[in-house]
Structures are given as C-alpha cells and as structure tokens.
Amino acid sequence: MTYKVVVSDTKVMDGETRAAVLDAVDATVETIAAKEPAAVARAVKDADAVIVDAGTQVTAEVIDAADSLKVVGRAGIGVDNIDVQAAVEAGVSVVNVPEYSVEEVSTHTFALVLACLRKIPTFDRSVKRGEWEWAVGQPIRRLAGSTVGLVAFGKLASRFAAKLRGFDVDVIAYDPYAPEYRMGDLDVESVTFETLLSDSDIVSLHAPLTDETRGMIDADALDRMRDDALLVNTARGGLVDETALYDALVSSDLGGAGLDVREAEPPGDSPLHDLDSVVCTPHVAWYSEESRVELTQTVTEDVIRVLRGEAPENPIDLETGWF
C-alpha cells in the first residue's frame, strides 16, 4: 500500500533524514505552504498522515476534511495548533516530540538572560558606532544572589534550572501540575504565581499555550513584577500581552525582556523593536543541527508506526497538562 504524507514544514525538519526514514515504507511526500485551516483542509483531503510545525492549524475542519487521515505528527513539543479532541474523536492519532530541543531551548534561555542582564546588544551597538564607553549599559545588576522564577516546570524548565546551578541564584517555580518533589530534586522552591512575580529578579516562561495560560503575562502580572526585573520568553508568544509589555518597559515598570517567541510570527513592525531593553531572536531557541535531525527522525518514525498499525512512542494524551 502506498501512503501519502503531507508535510507543512521544511525549515524545522531535515529533508535528508525525513526521506531516509520514509523510505522504510511505500510513501509519497507532498510539501505544502498552507497554514490556515481552509487551505490545510484542501491539502490533506486524501492524506494518510500529516506532519506540521507550530504555525500550521490542524482544526476540526481539517480533521473532518481528511477522509483517510490516520495520524498528525507535530514537529515539536507544543500541540496548541492541533485540535487534539477532534482528532481523538475521529480516530486520528496525534504524536509529538516531547524531548525535542530541551538542550537547545534551555541554553538559549540562558543566553537571553545573560544578554539582557549584561546588556550585550547595547554594548555591541555602541562599540560598532565607534564608542568605547561602559556607562551606556547602566545599570547592570549582578546575577549571583538574584532570584529566578520559572513559570511551569516541565522538561525544558527543569534543564534550565539544572544549568543555573553554580551561579549562586535562588530558583523558584510555579506549576500547578508538577509535583513539588520534582522541584525539590533541583533545589527549586514551589510558589504561587503571585509570589513568583513579586519575588523574582528574572521571570522565565516555559508554559504551553492553553486557554488557561493565554495572556497570563498581562498588565496586572507585569505590575506585580519588580521594576528592574527581566522577563524571558522561549515558550509561546501568546503567553504575553505585548502591548502591556511595551507599556511596562517604556514607563520603567520593568527592566527588560528577552523574546524568542511572539504573539504574531513574524511580528512585523513592533514598537518593542525600538527599545534597547528588549533582546529579540526569531523563534530559534529550538535550533541546532543535531536537534533538527533528532526531531525529524523521531516524529517521522512515530508516524510510520501508526501507519503500520503499531502503537506510537509519543502519543498525545487529552489529559496532559503543562509540559
């Protein structure tokens, strides 16, 4: 039997690895640029499997339109762009790559923290203008002795917490779904969301985007944070109200922000880009050559398992909470 596999992302996935894995079955691969539900629905109508990135919407409309669809593979961790309920009800498996880019994202989070804290972009621009002046970065606070607050405590946050060891910082976390003993293993204190906001010098976001978490960093949350605190987001852009973030930064109610993910991607002409206190990267925390190959192999092999009638290794559970 020949299977049809539709792939919506060629940037994240390594084409050579994908081809090598799919050679294990009789499959044709069609690459699409569609992102919106109506276009995706047309593209997957006769597909047996679809592999998507974070920007491709697999809604109930898409599931209903796909007559022979057996599996949706998410090339990444978060599945907020997939209607998992509709898929399960239609008998369609949903798989992801839960261990994907844990090393890369935790490292990138640390890089954004240090870039913001040490004002690296500000100094870089200054030197390239021909200046040689330490004061352009004032004020700079010491990392040692500070408190780092983690919003959610899954695999990524846990790895970041491990990397913070040895830097003489206190680490606290808010996650209503993570057992306290898991935090205790890394000397992380479990606190309420309100306590995390008020006590942290650095707030790092690691939560998935759900109805519960969307816009959780709003004007009220930012008002609870310290005036010199840093906000770092390598999770999902929708967690942060960017208008409220801009207002907090220009009114000196927040010290700075490191953003790898945005409400809209690409973000266009955002006023945040005019602020020296904001360090931005283009949703690249996931990337290394190694993570790209690992991602492609893991998600494609699980898709093949489902097509063969086997149980996938990384199925999405409807009861899954935060990552």
Let me know: does 80 contact 104? Beta carbons within 8 Å.
Answer: no
- Check 265, 290, 310, 313 and give the catalytic one: 265
- Check 236, 262, 292, 305 and give the catalytic one: 236
236 is catalytic: yes
108 is catalytic: no
- Check 283, 292, 294, 305 and give the catalytic one: 283
214 is catalytic: no
Enzyme catalytic residues: 236, 265, 283
